[in-house]
Amino acid sequence: MAQLYFYYSAMNAGKSTSLLQSAYNYYEKGMRTIIYTSEMDHRFNMPKISSRIGASSPAKLYNSNTLLFEEISTEKKNSPVDCVLVDESQFLTRNQVKSLTNVVDILHIPVLCYGLRTDFRGELFPGSQYLLAWSDKLVELKTVCSCGRKATMVIRFDGIETPYKEGNQVQIGGNDMYISVCRKHYSQALNDNFIKVS
């Protein structure tokens, strides 16, 4: 029975690695997947998903205008689709999350979405908000703060260890701009007691 899954976490919890492992599991059994990632993440020269441990896979790009249900329906008419995997799913729109529920309910294809739950201000991303509301299964992928507690928050910093308290929700970057921390150290950072740990 097809279901909509949302695998969420703070940064550096292995979301892309988990997605790539799931895709490989389908591939190994001779099954076909469609893999999407957001075109907002333009750090790579070609459309692909890359993990920090070196694994990668080609991917289709989506943006806020991509009609996911229609694209996946067309793909299914051409050849069976066994699973759809979506990286950076926090960037999905409300309508796109709704269309992914239709991929599950009408096309009977499982959909696995991977993304951040909240931004550097502790606010939900739109895609994450509706995935949390409408997914059949929610799976938290865990990472740790430097103190050993579970990291649930993300700090954006300016490269000289000063945390941002305001700004645009989306600014693409990696370890050069973001660090995952526990709630206690997130609060301390916003109160100007932040010391970046490596």
9 within domain boundaries: yes
Q: Which residue has the tokens 């979506």?
A: 86
164 within domain boundaries: no
Q: Is 146 annotated as a binding residue?
A: no
Q: Could you give the CA distance from residue 38 to residue 59 in angstroms, rounded to a whole number?
A: 9
Calculate mean pLDDT across residues 183-198: 64
Lowest mean pLDDT of 1-5, 53-57, 142-146, 191-195, name the range. 191-195
184 within domain boundaries: no
149 within domain boundaries: no
Residue 103's pLDDT is what? 98
117 within domain boundaries: yes
Other C-beta atoms lying within 10 Å of the C-beta of residue 87: 29
- 29 pLDDT above the threshold of 80: yes
Q: Could you give the CA distance from residue 190 to residue 198 in angstroms, rounded to a whole number?
A: 19
26 within domain boundaries: yes
Domain span at residue 94 reads 4-140
Taking the whole predicted model, whether its pTM rises above 0.75 is answered as: yes
Q: Is 105 annotated as a binding residue?
A: no
Tell me the average pLDDT of the chain: 83
- 197 pLDDT above the threshold of 50: no
108 within domain boundaries: yes
Q: Which residues are catalytic?
A: 88
Q: Is 13 annotated as a binding residue?
A: yes
- pLDDT > 70: percent of the chain: 76
Q: Is 191 annotated as a binding residue?
A: no
Q: Is 9 annotated as a binding residue?
A: yes
CA distances from 115 to 87, 88, 101, 148 (A): 6, 5, 16, 22
39 within domain boundaries: yes
Q: Is 55 annotated as a binding residue?
A: no
Output the domain CATH number for residue 60: 3.40.50.300
pLDDT in tens, 46-105: 676 666 666 667 889 999 999 999 999 999 999 999 999 999 999 999 999 999 999 999
Q: Is 147 annotated as a binding residue?
A: yes
Calculate mean pLDDT across residues 119-143: 90
Residue 147's pLDDT is what? 86
Candidate ranges 23-27, 80-84, 116-120; pick with highest mean pLDDT: 80-84
Sign of CA dihedral 32, 21, 43, 181: positive
State the total domains in the chain.
Answer: 1
